[in-house]
Copies of this chain bind each other. A is one copy, B any other.
Amino acid sequence: MEDVGKNIIDDRAGLNEQSIVVVRDGEDPPEDCLAILANEARPLLISGHELGDVIGEAEILFVWPFAVPSLQSNWARAKRLKWIQTATAGVDGLMFQELRESEVLVTNARGVFESAIAEYTLGLLLMFTKDLLRTVRLQQACLWRHRETARLGGARLLVVGAGPIGREVGRLAQRLGVDVEIVARRRREGDPDFGTVRAIEELHDALGGADFVVVVTPLTEGTRGLIDRDAIRAMKPGAYLINVGRGAVVDEDALLVGLQSGHLAGAALDVFEHEPLAVDHPFWSRPDVIVSPHMSADATGWQRLATSVFVENLRRWRRGDALLNRVDKRSGYGGASGAD
């Protein structure tokens, strides 16, 4: 079992029909994932900078890193490439114009991250509701300060993004009695979980009624800077903003102003326009902000789940069946992240 990874790395004797190219992310995927892959195909494990060596022969890429710059720089040679499966939900780091306009299919890891992100988001909602951030600080000062706190049940949550992750966040919150509204690209009625799904054009109106706003929309040209100064002004005074989607969907300077003015009560940010967040960024030291390092999705075992998604698609590919989790490359939506 320990040698699986090694065997794969050494196996560079050309690609054949059974080969898949696995682009790794810094360190190797876990052994159990490599074993699952080796059961199905001849996996060739490479780093992004080695992609140029094999891209001319590769038909299928299974991509672990969020971004693979060498894919774009070697694109002209990717003559045989037909399908890219990502181990992530968001594909914004992978996309570029030539890929978007090509016939190459892109599928993502929908189904792997929804529950983990929803649980993480609920933890953040409860930290704010129960004033637990202040409790930690008071504890550090050995101060016993009783406070009354709010109820989460009956609070109003707006989820921005009605893809699988946003829907799971909303459903989990509903189970705790939270009053959930959800915003998508298009308005629709009769949603089985949320009744009315509001359109993005109604965003500012919806923001005004929410105690908590959770941003889980993918980053596309349509969502970049969506939570801007006007959107933050439209939020209810004393509300909280939580971003577990993509940093650039929120205008960070505008958010900072909204916090500094006291208009917002706090924010929890797991994603940032530039990651890692710069050490001198004012978010780090604000007592009303929770900074976490892009980890909400990463529950132990996600790699195995992501590998299973790929294996299921690989079997479908070989049977000639339609693949699961196809990303709409033009809109950037689809799969595990998105506001359908």
Q: A289's closest neighbor in chain B, by CB?
A: B139
B residues within 8 A CB of A279?
A: 142
Determine whether the beta carbon of B119 is less than 8 Å from that of A129: yes
B residues within 8 A CB of A298?
A: 146-149
Residue among B119, B144, B284, B285 making CB contact with A153, cutoff 8 Å: B119
Q: A103 CB to closest chain B CB, in angstroms?
A: 35
Q: How many copies does the complex hold?
A: 2
Residue among B119, B150, B175, B290 making CB contact with A126, cutoff 8 Å: B119
Q: A144's closest neighbor in chain B, by CB?
A: B276
Q: A276's closest neighbor in chain B, by CB?
A: B144
B residues within 8 A CB of A324?
A: none
Q: A314 CB to closest chain B CB, in angstroms?
A: 25
Q: A270's closest neighbor in chain B, by CB?
A: B135
Alpha-carbon gap, A146 to B133, bound state (A): 20
Asked whether any CB of chain B lies closer than 8 Å to the CB of A41, the reply is no
Size class of A's contact patch? 35 or more
Q: A123-B130, A132-B292 are known contacts; what are 16 more A-B pairs with Cβ within 8 Å?
A: A119-B126, A119-B129, A119-B130, A120-B149, A122-B176, A127-B127, A132-B290, A135-B291, A139-B291, A146-B295, A148-B302, A149-B298, A150-B299, A150-B300, A175-B176, A176-B176
| Interface residues of A, Cβ cutoff 8 Å to B | 115-116, 119-120, 122-124, 126-127, 129-130, 132-133, 135-136, 138-139, 142, 144-153, 172, 175-177, 275-277, 279, 284-285, 290-296, 298-302
